[in-house]
Structure 1
């Protein structure tokens, strides 16, 4: 694929025009489209998340134990906690997910690639990396693509989710970022870190889904500000197939209470 901004610019512009002009797009049906309660299928969409800087080892263990109990898809943590999570989840169905370049995305490509490879070495099964937002907004598409691709290559077959940090982006930039991530080999495009204000919206999820629809293998993860089952349903209907939330256990526990109520 193209290696310079001069080559990328018309490709990105074409994709932006195509997506914005498509008024007939229908969200493809997924395994999560028909969910009506926080059931076992719902749990498979949840990346159970603990990314706050003051997270203690005891809190990380609790996160893992909740993931094991409810069979969440993964526990998503900072790199320093990956080994602990990998050990705690051993023998369970839940995966270990590590964030990279988090939360700013402003590190060098070399540092992001190393961080990702190190996380996989320490037991990570999935990588959530933050896009270089400043480069994206400046139209430095070659750098954005190379940044993502370097991480994808550094972790071989480990799925990479690319966090766009949509709160900073125009619709055109969201489309551009989604397109560049898909072209670089990402498995998912993801909305937000949750550290910059705002959060995931159904409108953004739908736009991102439209942007990567030409590559059916690329999915959308909604993250930040998702604290209820109804909000999860809103994201699923917009096209999300993974939810990043620290409220997964609370949602499941509420369902258990409701099921046991008179």
Structure 2
């Protein structure tokens, strides 16, 4: 594996969140993550235990999603879901914000919800999905500030279930707004090595993809 591949592989959350995903596919995902020493596998909560059992003796983290993919679960439901996931072995949580609150400008509620889930996650990594496809540029910047104020560790662009995934413009904007104060996870539609490099250059510090091996150089 080349130096650039060694750098990229540790930025990749190798992901399978398709609603029809079965346990054998999750196991295969984890085996690929082990093979390439990816940073994490990102799986549905029902598969956290399986994923943990496979990667437990490695450097691969187990990530799962909360309030996914729409974000309008109650704060209490998100908190409880995160608490359960951590107890089952998840070390990273990707939470979707309440997108309706974002449209209404209820920023303090968004901040409080993020803080509540972060308290449940504790020292583990919390990434907050803001779904940039559904936001204006002004809203993307405001959402980034909410994530920062809520005490999360990363802002994440997309669920992969919206009209589009991460764009270079999204990442550049988030980087300009946050100035390195938070990690930035680009996700959704990342399929090639060239895309990965461009997103990293723009400021992404993590890449969510179902195409992990394809992001590495030939």
Equivalent residue for 1:241? 205
Look up the SS of the partner of 1:186 in the other structure. coil
Q: Is the 1:148–1:181 contact (alpha carbons within 8 Å) kept by the matching residues of 2?
A: yes
1:129-208 to structure 2, matched below 5 A, reads 129-208=95-174
Query: What residue ranges of structure 1 are gaps of 5+ in the alignment?
Result: 1-35
Equivalent residue for 2:30? 64
Deviations, residues 36-62 of structure 1 (Å, cap 9, x unaligned): 975111100000000001111110000
CA–CA distance in structure 1, aligned partners of residues 63 and 119 of structure 2: 17
Equivalent residue for 1:223? 187
Moved over 4 A (4+): none
Query: What residue ranges of structure 2 are gaps of 5+ in the alignment?
Result: none
CA–CA distance in structure 2, aligned partners of residues 138 and 123 of structure 1: 35
Does the C-alpha gap of structure 1 residues 251 and 206 become closer, same or farther in structure 2, counting only changes over 3 Å? closer
Does the C-alpha gap of structure 1 residues 199 and 240 become closer, same or farther in structure 2, counting only changes over 3 Å? same
Q: Is the 2:118–2:152 contact (alpha carbons within 8 Å) kept by the matching residues of 1?
A: yes
CA–CA distance in structure 1, aligned partners of residues 34 and 26 of structure 2: 12
Equivalent residue for 1:105? 71
After TM superposition, give the deviation of residue 119 of structure 1 in Å.
0.5
Higher CA-based Rg: 1
CA–CA distance in structure 2, aligned partners of residues 194 and 246 of structure 1: 10
Task: Give the alignment's Cα RMSD to 1 decimal.
Answer: 1.2
CA–CA distance in structure 1, aligned partners of residues 144 and 3 of structure 2: 30
After TM superposition, give the deviation of residue 183 of structure 1 in Å.
0.8
Question: Does 1:44 pair with 2:10?
Answer: yes
TM-score for the superposition, normalised by structure 2: 0.96
Q: Is the 2:43–2:65 contact (alpha carbons within 8 Å) kept by the matching residues of 1?
A: yes
Look up the SS of the partner of 1:39 in the other structure. helix
Count of residue correspondences:
217
